[in-house]
Chain A
Amino acid sequence: MTDLHPRFAGRAAFAPRADYRLLPCRFLALDAARVVVTNEVGEHVVMTRPQLRAFAGHGLAVHDPLYRVLKAKHFLFDDESRAALDLLALKVRTRAAPIARLTGLHIFVVTLRCDHSCHYCQVSRQTADKTQFDMTPAHADRALDIVFASPSPAIKIEFQGGESLLNFALIRHIVLEAERRNAVAGRDLQFVIASNLTHVDDEVLAFARAHRIFFSTSLDGPEDLHNANRPLRGGNSHQAALAGIARIRAALGPDHVSALMTTTPASLPRVAEIIDEYVRHGFRSIFLRSLSPYGFAVRTRLVGGYDIADWLAFYREGLAHILALNQRGVAIREELTALLLHKMFAPSGTAYVDLQSPAGIAIGALVYNYDGKIYASDEGRMLAEMADPSFCLGSLDDQSFASLMTHDGLHGMLEDSLAESAPMCADCAFLPWCGADPTFHRATQRDVVGHKAFSAFCAKQMAVLRHLVTLLEDDPAAARVLRSWL
């Protein structure tokens, strides 16, 4: 390598001082030989244990490639260069800033009536009685007062049930009223109807097209699996769902309907088939969800039917299948993975309310139930069905956005469940990529914080993240696909 003209100083003249200072970081074991280290904003480096000891012991030489990586990614700094502190502060701020937008997701449970009797359902009622289980227009209007009192620039109104389309009249009312108010409020307003699609008729389609409404439906897998989970008296839920999907795509466009799967013990050995079913029916996204511990599922012993290791095998096999499909040119991405990748690599993290610290309860999402009660999350509503009302924040009859946001009980739960101060979470390397789940821990351990050593949520998060870090580190082909999901 030729030297510069003597008038110029060589690299040695600009070498940093040998002594460096640590920046805040956390680490945990990735596997037998390596650790993963994260900084305050979730940037990570994988290294061996001897390297960790050298780094933490101030023994890393300035010409070591690891030194350069750790300095650039803000794990260490030297006293001469403090720009790292300004940049870290800015990054912390960028990740935290979205919290201040407050509640963007507003769920309206317009009816509990339903025509299906899904085994894992937490809430529905088989009845034709509209008076007992439908939301009233008066309550809907009061809920809209709260919706537009939220400062969030983006508002998503999601209709749930039961089967939400059984109360289409109220959905119509809410959409029209929300749009009328939004003409003044000027938010980015989106509507989603969660439905099993057996009641998607021309009137619904025309209205949805006129108001650019999105649909979200359940597709648990191939026909036998789906129908076993989701019995529809006198019908075939799987066929009805596919027919509904086709009609929506034809009327509104290919991306106006998304599908969610619910995992049951029967799903666990069939992940590739489930994914193939999604691909076959034109979906580009699938969320490999774990079984929730709420409602009917607990009562029918479904939760006890498998343990976390079984689900993790399901996830790993499913992800491998999806990565292989991607490498063959099929565009399908796994949503849990994608959102964890965003938490790992995107400066602003993600807006997914179920994986935040402080938890997204109330401050990220609010649920307005058919009976006028307000819940801090959809899971909180389900917990109330199990006779635990801790996440009920009151009633539409007397609450306002301000009173909800300053609710003492809510603040207690937010503070208590804050991962940054929870045992084990506080010094966990995965903290920036994880979140608090107070409803899950309340449901399974009767405590919003929970003891994480006994937490299926924690076990799942840690195993999935270890798996992803390992893939990114060791499998370049997989890493390329994963990064393309960002």
Chain B
Amino acid sequence: MGDGDRELTFEDGAVRVVFDLRVYRQTAIQKAAYRFADRFTAVLGARDGHALAAALQFKPTTSAATAREAVRQFYQELLDQELREQIADETTAVRTLILAHAFSNVDLIKRDA
């Protein structure tokens, strides 16, 4: 599972992590972070090779336990998001084909007159 296995430190209301871009693509990270925006704000840093540092900033009243649980779930979501990207990549072409056929001008079915 990668980064998620390491001990998560909760300092100044933030959990700092480093994403391995060989495992999670950047769009997956951004989409997962978007989904978790109600729980923390992901402040993404600069990219360094295949590492992307980030600070997951929680509301001031958040406990360490709550924060860690949120980050754990976030990594699960990150895996899911990575899988979604993979499926989308694979199915884009056939989806376009299906939609084009669906919305073409050809009569697909004629009901009884």
Task: Please tell me if the beta carbons of B91 and A90 are within 8 angstroms of each other in the complex.
Answer: no
Chain B 55-113 residues near chain A, CB threshold 8 A = 76, 80-81, 83-84, 86-88, 90-91, 94-95, 97-99, 101-103, 108-109
Q: Which B residues are CB-close (under 8 A) to A25?
A: 87, 91
Q: Residue on A with the closest CB to B76?
A: A29
Number of interface residues of B (CB under 8 A): 26
Minimal beta-carbon separation of B84 from chain A (angstroms): 5
Bound together, the chains give a CA A54 to CA B38 distance in angstroms of: 32
B50 at the binding interface (Cβ < 8 Å): no
Q: Which A residues are CB-close (under 8 A) to B103?
A: 92-93, 96
* Selected contact of B95 from candidates A24, A56, A93, A427, CB within 8 Å: A24
A302 at the binding interface (Cβ < 8 Å): no
Task: Please tell me if the beta carbons of A424 and B91 are within 8 angstroms of each other in the complex.
Answer: no
Task: Please tell me if the beta carbons of B98 and A24 are within 8 angstroms of each other in the complex.
Answer: yes
Number of interface residues of A (CB under 8 A): 27
Bound together, the chains give a CA A454 to CA B84 distance in angstroms of: 22
A23 at the binding interface (Cβ < 8 Å): yes
Q: Which B residues are CB-close (under 8 A) to A24?
A: 91, 94-95, 98
Bound together, the chains give a CA A330 to CA B17 distance in angstroms of: 56
Q: Which B residues are CB-close (under 8 A) to A423?
A: 31, 34
Task: Please tell me if the beta carbons of A92 and B91 are within 8 angstroms of each other in the complex.
Answer: no
Task: Please tell me if the beta carbons of B35 and A424 are within 8 angstroms of each other in the complex.
Answer: yes
Q: Which A residues are CB-close (under 8 A) to B31?
A: 423-424, 427
Known: A27-B84, A56-B86, A96-B103. A453 touches B37 (CB 8 A): yes
Chain A 1-42 residues near chain B, CB threshold 8 A = 21-29, 40
B36 at the binding interface (Cβ < 8 Å): yes
Q: Which A residues are CB-close (under 8 A) to B81?
A: 427
Known: A424-B35, A453-B35, A453-B36. A85 touches B94 (CB 8 A): yes
Task: Please tell me if the beta carbons of A451 and B37 are within 8 angstroms of each other in the complex.
Answer: yes
Known: A22-B87, A90-B102, A427-B88. A453 touches B34 (CB 8 A): yes
Q: Which A residues are CB-close (under 8 A) to B101?
A: 85-86, 89
Bound together, the chains give a CA A23 to CA B35 distance in angstroms of: 25
Q: Which B residues are CB-close (under 8 A) to A29?
A: 76, 80
A88 at the binding interface (Cβ < 8 Å): yes
Task: Please tell me if the beta carbons of B87 and A92 are within 8 angstroms of each other in the complex.
Answer: no
Q: Mark A59-101, 1 if CB is under 8 A from B, else 0.
A: 0000000000000000000000000011011101100100000
Known: A423-B31, A453-B36. A56 touches B98 (CB 8 A): no
Known: A22-B91, A453-B34, A453-B38. A92 touches B83 (CB 8 A): no
Q: Which A residues are CB-close (under 8 A) to B76?
A: 29
Bound together, the chains give a CA A93 to CA B106 distance in angstroms of: 11
Most chain-B Cβ atoms within 10 A of its Cβ — which of A24, A451, A453? Answer: A24
* Selected contact of A21 from candidates B37, B86, B94, CB within 8 Å: B94
Q: Which B residues are CB-close (under 8 A) to A454?
A: 37-38
Task: Please tell me if the beta carbons of B94 and A56 are within 8 angstroms of each other in the complex.
Answer: no
Bound together, the chains give a CA A28 to CA B99 distance in angstroms of: 23
Minimal beta-carbon separation of B39 from chain A (angstroms): 8
* Selected contact of B98 from candidates A21, A92, A424, CB within 8 Å: A92
* Selected contact of A22 from candidates B38, B90, B98, CB within 8 Å: B90
Q: Mark A286-330, 1 if CB is under 8 A from B, else 0.
A: 000000000000000000000000000000000000000000000
Q: Which A residues are CB-close (under 8 A) to B90?
A: 21-22
Q: Which B residues are CB-close (under 8 A) to A89?
A: 98-99, 101-102, 108
Bound together, the chains give a CA A22 to CA B35 distance in angstroms of: 25
Query: Which 10 residue pairs spanning A and B have beta carbons closest together?
Result: A92-B102, A89-B101, A24-B95, A89-B102, A93-B102, A453-B38, A453-B37, A24-B91, A89-B98, A88-B98
B interface, CB within 8 angstroms of A: 31, 34-38, 76, 80-81, 83-84, 86-88, 90-91, 94-95, 97-99, 101-103, 108-109
A interface, CB within 8 angstroms of B: 21-29, 40, 52-53, 56, 85-86, 88-90, 92-93, 96, 423-424, 427, 451, 453-454
Given contacts A25-B91, A454-B37, 9 further A-B contacts (CB under 8 A): A21-B90, A27-B80, A27-B84, A85-B97, A86-B101, A90-B109, A92-B99, A93-B102, A96-B102
